[in-house]
């Protein structure tokens, strides 16, 4: 971890403290952390151990209460809702199915490592099904990526989760844009957070 960068527990606390003060409906959607017996389930379902950052996050928060509509709170991570263990495994199965279909159709060069990969572990999903994920490929371990359906290539947003949370917290506190497609935090009805793309 970079010298001077707080640990994930501290950063998540900073983030959720801001939600509590400014977006209480979002904070209310956060589920408690996984029980000790649940922490092994992701590895069992994926077939490999999850990155330490993801394990630490699940220990703090096992996702959010699932949204049924875009007007409901809980999508405070760049308009994505944090997934629980069941949601992670379900979304990962969808990625695996996409990879398997591509291999059968001889289109792996267009798909594998570009729009889907069996070593991408979903972290959060938006209402359209797009994903934020933690990359588990050895050469990209721990990177935070964004996969949007219809895009020919995923985006690498942050090299590590702690750096993601530092940027998000600073964006919230200073109302500054984040990511290569600049998104600025905005409060909706004083209860939930939105991240519209900044006008250019």
145-195 pLDDT per residue, tens: 999 988 999 999 999 999 999 999 999 999 999 998 899 999 998 889 999
Ordered DSSP codes for 173-184: HHT--BTTTTB-
Question: What kind and span of H or E run contains 21?
Answer: helix 8-22
Q: What is the pTM of this model?
A: 0.94
Pair 142, 53: CB distance under 8 Å = yes
Q: Is 149 helix (H, G, I), strand (E, B) or coil?
A: coil
Rounded (5°) CA angle 83-168-66: 20
Pair 91, 111: CB distance under 8 Å = no
> What percent of the chain clears pLDDT 90, i.e. is strictly above it?
84
Query: In whole angstroms, how far apart are CA 33 and each of 12, 39, 85?
Result: 12, 9, 10
Model confidence pLDDT, tens digit, residues 33-49:
998 778 888 999 999 99
DSSP annotation of 178 reads B
């Amino acid at each position: 971890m970079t010298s001077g960068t707080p640990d994930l527990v501290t950063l998540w606390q900073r983030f959720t403290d801001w939600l509590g003060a400014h977006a209480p409906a979002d904070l209310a959607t956060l589920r408690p952390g996984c029980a000790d017996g649940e922490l092994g389930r992701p590895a069992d379902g994926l077939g490999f151990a999850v990155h330490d950052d993801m394990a630490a996050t699940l220990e703090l928060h096992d996702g959010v209460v699932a949204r049924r509509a875009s007007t409901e709170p809980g999508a405070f991570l760049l308009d994505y809702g944090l997934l629980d263990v069941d949601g992670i495994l379900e979304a990962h199965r969808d990625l695996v199915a996409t990879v398997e279909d591509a291999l059968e159709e001889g289109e792996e060069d267009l798909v594998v490592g570009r729009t889907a990969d069996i070593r991408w572990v979903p972290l959060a999903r938006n209402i359209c099904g797009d994903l934020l994920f933690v990359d588990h490929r050895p050469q990209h371990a721990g990177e935070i990526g964004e996969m949007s359906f219809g895009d020919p290539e995923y985006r690498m947003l942050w090299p590590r989760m702690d750096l993601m949370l530092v940027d998000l917290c600073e964006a919230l506190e200073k109302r500054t844009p984040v990511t290569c497609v600049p998104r600025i935090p905005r409060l909706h009805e004083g209860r939930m957070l939105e991240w519209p793309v900044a006008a250019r």
